[in-house]
Amino acid sequence: MISKDDNNVVGFIKLLSSWKEAYTWKMTSFVSIKTLGGPRLLIGRVLFDTVKPKDDLGFCFESGYVIAGREIAKVHSGDINVCVDNAIEGNLVCEKKTFHLLLKDGNTLTAWFLPVYHPSVTFGPRLPSLIIRGSPTYELLSSPGFRHKEMLDWDLKSADQPFDNLDELFTHLGFPTSYQSGDSSTLEIIGISPTLIDADSRISAGSAQIKCRLAEAGDAKKLKFGYKVFHASSVERGSLAGDDFEWSRDASSRVGSASIPTNEAPLLQGFLSYDKIGLHQWWIVDPEKRLNLRYALHEVFDRELGFIRRFLLTPEGKQNRAFEHGMALLLTLLGFSVAHYGKLSNMDEGPDIIATTPGGNVGVVECTTSLLNAKDKLVKLAQRTILIKDQLNKTGHGYLSVLPIIVTALRKTEVEAGLEQAGENGIAVLCKENVEELLERVKLPPNPEAMFQEAQRLVPTTKESSSFETTK
């Protein structure tokens, strides 16, 4: 059991208490394994939300070895505290049954509080999370009376609602895959942000039209929108209170609208807070103006990035060379200095792309339209990175960061098999989801140094150093 005075527990409750009145619904999801001592939780989650999830998200599953499900229920007063009290004892309480995290051989529960984002999220409104960990998953999957994990997959295939394997069941319930989840049984409590800056906000005719969404049960008086307007030779800073917005309602939330004069400025950065706690930042632009000089020039020949999108996101991009060309162009538009060695027929021993930031940090990029280690790409990328680091050390540039990066045209769920090897070699993995996000960022002022730092966080965590590892 974890103490109620644990700093992680106290911090999570304190943060969510600032807007707990905004939560009206909760969604409880779980996957548990049947053992001789009863079902034990493999992974579970309680998500507190400000709107009702779709009714068709309800789910109930049972096979010979597994019980899984997803329940949707209204939130009652005190539910957050009750949920946390249960979690620190290792319990996930559902409508008809309670599931327990496995503890054995002297193992203890540990807690981890993430005040900004859940580990699977890197942008958007804040998503504070409390993660409770039990015994390692291999202990649960090797409990008395339980067979090898391979038999678990075949058990799922034979169910009335068949799943190919455990990861497919995880994905169906919205969980990270078993590799991404780490090597311990896990119980998560997550709180959706009660407010956000609507993506429809934009600058037009010398004025920024701001739209914010607020939970139906939220208090508009606690809202504040801070902003920076980027003029040609100065930055204007200010803020609007919730009372400065005109409020209306739609099917899911309250919508606040306000106008901020921008004159000729093409860009505004917004910061949204609730009860003095920052929750979301967003860039608001004039769609008729281009904040990225490289993008503005590129648009002369390729409106709305149609050419690059075709190479990166469509079947035409399944040709590896076309995918390479698209990635080289995208990195150039994002502000990197790019050398595309892959297009040179006599440079087979070089990487596909070397992308350099203005500060000199180096991305060694390999592109693939299939699995990560097809044609030994991961091994070759690791070797080429070592050669580049050695050369930098010899020439007095050893202080610079060198990051091997593999970019795939596939989604993360399709390349799970290669993630561990990539992590062992310190290789960042960019999947189709990451490429889609980068395409949107072309419209913003380029910041390759920040993107390089973000890429460093995309190195998969190995089982020996799980990203969920924590101590009390």
**68-81: pLDDT as tens digits:** 999 999 999 899 99
* Residue 250's pLDDT band (cuts 50, 70, 90): confident
Residue pair 361/403 in contact by the 8 Å Cβ criterion: yes
* Separation of alpha carbons 438 and 335, rounded Å: 12
For the segment 377-391, the average pLDDT, to the nearest whole number, is: 93
432 — alpha (psi -120 to 50), left (phi > 0) or beta?
Answer: alpha
Tell me the sheet residues that pair with 254.
214, 249
- What is the reported pLDDT for 102? 81
**Where do the H-state alpha helices sit in 218-351?**
293-298, 306-313, 320-333
Is the pTM higher than 0.85? no
For the segment 397-419, the average pLDDT, to the nearest whole number, is: 90
* Separation of alpha carbons 202 and 208, rounded Å: 6
Of 225, 261, 218, 217, which is closest to residue 242 (Cα–Cα)? 225
pLDDT: which is higher, 466 or 384: 384
pLDDT: which is higher, 251 or 283: 283
For the segment 37-50, the average pLDDT, to the nearest whole number, is: 93
Beta strand segments in 115-183, E: 129-136
Of 449, 457, 448, which is closest to residue 430 (Cα–Cα)? 457
Residue 341 has a CB neighbour count (10 Å cut-off) of 17
Residue pair 85/42 in contact by the 8 Å Cβ criterion: no
* Residue 60's pLDDT band (cuts 50, 70, 90): very high
How would you label 128-138 residue by residue, b for 16+ Cβ within 10 Å and e otherwise?
bbbbbbbbbbe
Domains delineated in the chain: 7-191 (no CATH), 195-285 (2.60.40.10), 293-465 (3.40.91.50)
Q: Which two tokens stand for residue 87?
A: 């979690």
- What is the reported pLDDT for 143? 58
Mean pLDDT across the chain, nearest whole number?
88
Token pair 């890197």 in the structure block, residue? 122
DSSP state, 193?
-
Beta strand segments in 205-310, E: 207-214, 223-230, 235-241, 246-249, 254-261, 267-274, 277-285
Tell me the sheet residues that pair with 35.
38
How would you label 370-385 residue by residue, b for 16+ Cβ within 10 Å and e otherwise?
ebbbeeebbeebbebb
For the segment 216-233, the average pLDDT, to the nearest whole number, is: 93
Residue 206 has a CB neighbour count (10 Å cut-off) of 11
* Residue 251's pLDDT band (cuts 50, 70, 90): confident
Residue pair 332/294 in contact by the 8 Å Cβ criterion: yes
Residue 98 has a CB neighbour count (10 Å cut-off) of 12
- What is the reported pLDDT for 468? 33
- What is the reported pLDDT for 471? 32
Residue pair 245/280 in contact by the 8 Å Cβ criterion: no
- What is the reported pLDDT for 106? 67
pLDDT in tens, 329-363: 999 999 999 999 887 766 667 899 999 999 899 99
Contacts of 420 (CB under 8 A, 6+ apart): 179, 460, 462, 463
pLDDT in tens, 428-445: 999 999 999 899 888 888
Of 444, 337, 359, 452, which is closest to residue 404 (Cα–Cα)? 452
- What is the reported pLDDT for 240? 97
